[in-house]
Chains A and B, each alone.
Chain A
């Protein structure tokens, strides 16, 4: 009986869930994920540069962070700009720069270029700060 009740609940939740979201909701959901992945890439790259983690792990972690960010950015780019087109455009720009910074790092780690990574990490850090700022303006993110 109980099992049946639970499964019905699940079915209902699945049916109604993950459906339509307002643009604002999508930003609310995606932005923290992008920030989290950027921060992960940051810490992983930093650790890799100082020899704290193996190459395979760093590659793997960076690639998955990169692809997660890419998907999220694509999702946000396709949103209608809404009331404040200016802020939205600026947000997308910042996101793309974060994405590019992660991609750069990922490529360098793949090539084993330990010396250039710290500078790229710093670059990523700056982009993260800028993103945090604009997220704060939008009232979302961490």
Chain B
């Protein structure tokens, strides 16, 4: 978004929980959390969108959150919240378009693991 282009966004209504779409137009999870940076002497700044099972779980129930992080630590890094800097957000409409490549981010780790170890080994999977 350019500096001149002024637009107001209702964060909870239009950003939180909405679909994230990467630069190849592929779905890459949902906006599970919003991180605001507080700076001394300056107005607070919207810093990141967080995506990940742990962020989501924390919003649903603290116990669920513990359980998810235990599960995540057993299976590697998936579930750890991934932060997308607000500067990478290209457009907020029905979906949130972000300028990253989903396949290179941790949000796709579980998908990639399944693709490689399970789906790819079943005939007709790929």
Q: State if A and B touch, Cβ cutoff 8 Å.
A: no
